[in-house]
Amino acid sequence: MDQSFEIPDSTDWLETPLSLLAPFESSLRCQVCKDFFDNPVITSCSHTFCSLCIRRCLSTEGKCPACRSSDQELKLRRNWAVQELVDAFKLARPNVLDLARRENVRLAKGEEDIDEPTQKKRKINQVEEQELQVPEANSQGRRTRSQRSINSSAEERTVPQIVPEVIEDSQDDEEYMPEDGLVACPICFRKMKEEAVFPHLNVHQQEEEAPRKTPTKPTSFGLLKGTSQRGLTLPSKQPERLPAINYSILKDNALRKKLRDLGIPDWGQKQLLQRRHTEWMNLWNANCDSKCPKSKRVLLQELDIWERTQGGHAAVPSPFTTSNNVMRKDFDANEWSNNHDDDFKRLIANARKKSGAQVRSIIPETSPSSSRQREPQPQQDVGLPVNGARVELSPDTDANHVIDLSG
C-alpha cells in the first residue's frame, strides 16, 4: 500500500515557505475522515462534516462528534460555501504546492535558477513559473461565479499541461464511466453483457443460500439501468431520501424484503441486514446532498466496499476480529481453513522461528524493514519495532540504547 504516502495532506505545506497553509488546509478537511469535505453539511450545533461521515456518526451514536450535543440527520443542512471553498482550493493546490516546493529547493540551494529540481515533480515541471502563476492572476474577479464556471474558465485559461491534473483531482471521476454497452452484476459488479446477467446471478444464488425470489430481480435491475443512464447527464430532479426504519418492530423477513425492494443484497442474519440497511441509507442520503449525485450503480459499488471491509464479506486480516467471525452461526469451517491455510503455515513457521530467536534476542540489531517505506525525513530516525521485541533509538534522541523489551 505504497500509495498511502502519496495522499495529499495538510502537512505537505510544512516544509515549504507556505507553512501557514497547513492549518488553512486542515480547516478544509473533515475531522472524521481527514479528507477534504465531501458534500459538507452543517449540524444544528454549527459543526461541519462530510454528509456521509456525520450520517454514520449519527446513526451510531446520535451525537455530534465535535461537541456531543444530540442531533438528528433530518436537521443537517448543506453547506455550499464550504463546498465551493474546497473545490476552489483543490483546483489551486497542485500549482501552489509545486511553486512552494520549488521555492524551497531554490532557498535550500541558494541559487537563482534551478534546472533540475531534486524533488519528485509531476508533468508541470517544464512549465515556467510565469505560466504557473496564470491561474492565480486570473482568480481576481471570479469570486462571485459559481463553481461550474470556475472549472470551465480555469480549463480554458490554464496551460494545457495542467489539464490532466484538473481531471485527476475531480472527485466525480467515477460517475463518468465509459458506456461500453456492458452492465455490472448487482452483486459482484463484474461487467458483462446484459443477457448474461441473469444466468450469472444464479451463481451467486447458489453461493448464498439466502432465498431470493426471481420476480424481484427484473424490477431492481431495471432501476439500475435507468439510473446509470441518468448518471451520465445531470439528473433533472434530486433522488428522494430514504426514511429511517425502526428495526425492532420488523421481523427478519420483512426487513429482508425491504432490502430486496431497495435493490441491495438481502442475505445474512438480522443484525447484518440492519447494518447493511443503515449503511445504504447513509450512502443514499449523503448522495442526496451532492450537487451532482452519483448513479445507483456507483452507490452499490460503495456498499460492496463496505460489505468487504466491514460487512458480511469482511476479510479477517488481523487476529482480533477473528473470534467474532468464528462464532457466527453461518461460519464455514472448510472455506475458512482453505482460505487461511497459508496463514496457519506462516504462524507455525513464525512460532518455530521465535522460539529459536528468543535466545538471540539480546543481540542488538536494526530491523531491516523498520523504516523501509517512509519518506525520507531528516528528524525521523526512530525506527519502529517490527515484531514488538526490539526498539532502537537513534543517537539524536536522548537514550542511545538498544532496548530489549521481550524479556
Partner 1 sequence: MASSVAQKRLFHEYKNLSTNPPEGITAGPVSEDDMFYWEALIQGPEETPFEGGVFAAELKFPRDYPLSPPTMKFIGGGVWHPNVYPNGTVCISILHPPGDDPNHYEHASERWSPIQSVEKILISVMSMLAEPNDESPANVEAAKMWRERRPEYEQKVRDEVKKGLGL
Contact between 356 and partner 1 by CB under 8 A: the answer reads: no
Stretch that binds partner 1, among 121-129, 175-183, 252-260, 390-398 (CB under 8 A): 390-398
> Of 54-62, 78-86, 128-136, 328-336, which part binds partner 1 (CB under 8 A)?
54-62
Burial (CB < 10 A; 0-12, 13-18, 19+), residue 85, is middle
Name the residue nearer to partner 1 (CB basis): 27 or 397. Answer: 397
Residue 79, number of CB atoms within 10 A of its CB: 20
Sole window of 133-141, 265-273, 290-298, 309-317 interacting with partner 1 (rule: CB under 8 A): 309-317
Q: Quick one: cell of 375?
A: 519518506
Given the DSSP bridges, would you call strands 191-192 and 390-392 parallel, antiparallel or unpaired? unpaired
Residue 387 and residue 384: Cα distance in Å, rounded? 9
Is 205 or 406 the residue whose CB approaches partner 1 more closely? Answer: 406
Helix (H) and strand (E) counts in the chain: 15, 7
Q: How many Å apart are CA 207 and CA 226, to the nearest integer?
A: 28
Compute the C-alpha angle 185/190/195, nearest 5°: 50
User: C-beta of 347: minimal distance to partner 1 in Å?
Assistant: 14
Phi, psi of 251 (to 5 degrees): -75, 160
Give the binding range for partner 1 (CB under 8 A) out of 63-71, 109-117, 166-174, 194-202: 63-71
How near is the Cβ of 33 to partner 1 at its closest, in Å?
6
Q: Does 384 bind partner 1 (CB under 8 A)?
A: yes
Question: Which of 370, 355, 354 is CA-nearest to residue 402?
Answer: 370
How far is 75 from 84, CA to CA, in rounded Å?
21
E strand map for 135-263:
183-184, 191-192
Q: What is the Cα–Cα distance from 71 to 43, expressed in whole angstroms? A: 7
In degrees rounded to 5, what are phi and psi of residue 116? -120, 100
Cα-to-chain-centroid distance, residue 119: 27
What interhelical angle do 270-288 and 296-309 show, nearest 10?
140
Write down the least CB distance from residue 89 to partner 1, Å. Answer: 17
Give the x-and-dash track for 316-355 against partner 1 (CB under 8 A).
-xx-xx----------------------------------
The window from 10-18, 133-141, 153-161, 249-257 that contacts partner 1 (CB under 8 A) reads: 10-18
Out of 42, 45, 63, 244, name the contact with partner 1 by CB under 8 A. Answer: 63
What does the per-residue mask of binding to partner 1 show for 66-85, with x meaning CB under 8 A?
Answer: x-x-----------------
Q: Taking the complex as a whole, how short is the minimal distance between the CB of residue 35 and partner 1, in angstroms?
A: 7
Cβ(135)–Cβ(202) under 8 Å? no
Count of CB atoms situated within 10 Å of the CB of 363: 10
For residues 240 and 398, which CB has a smaller minimum distance to partner 1 in the complex? 398
97 lines the binding site for partner 1 (CB under 8 A): no
Given the complex with partner 1, which of 27 and 133 has the nearer CB atom?
27
Least distance (Å) between residue 342 CB and partner 1: 13
Q: Pick between residue 221 and residue 306 the one whose CB is nearest to partner 1.
A: 306
Q: What CA–CA distance (Å, rounded) separates 174 from 147?
A: 19
Q: Which stretch binds partner 1 (CB under 8 A): 37-45, 53-61, 75-83, 131-139?
A: 53-61
Question: How many Å apart are CA 316 and CA 310, to the nearest integer?
Answer: 10
Give the C-alpha separation, 146 to 353, whole Å: 63
Residues 13-52 touching partner 1, rule: CB under 8 A, are 14-15, 31-35
- Rule CB under 8 A: which residues touch partner 1? 1-2, 4-5, 7, 9-11, 14-15, 31-35, 53, 56-57, 60-61, 63, 65-66, 68, 304-306, 308-310, 314, 317-318, 320-321, 373-375, 377, 380, 382, 384-388, 391, 393, 397-399, 401-406
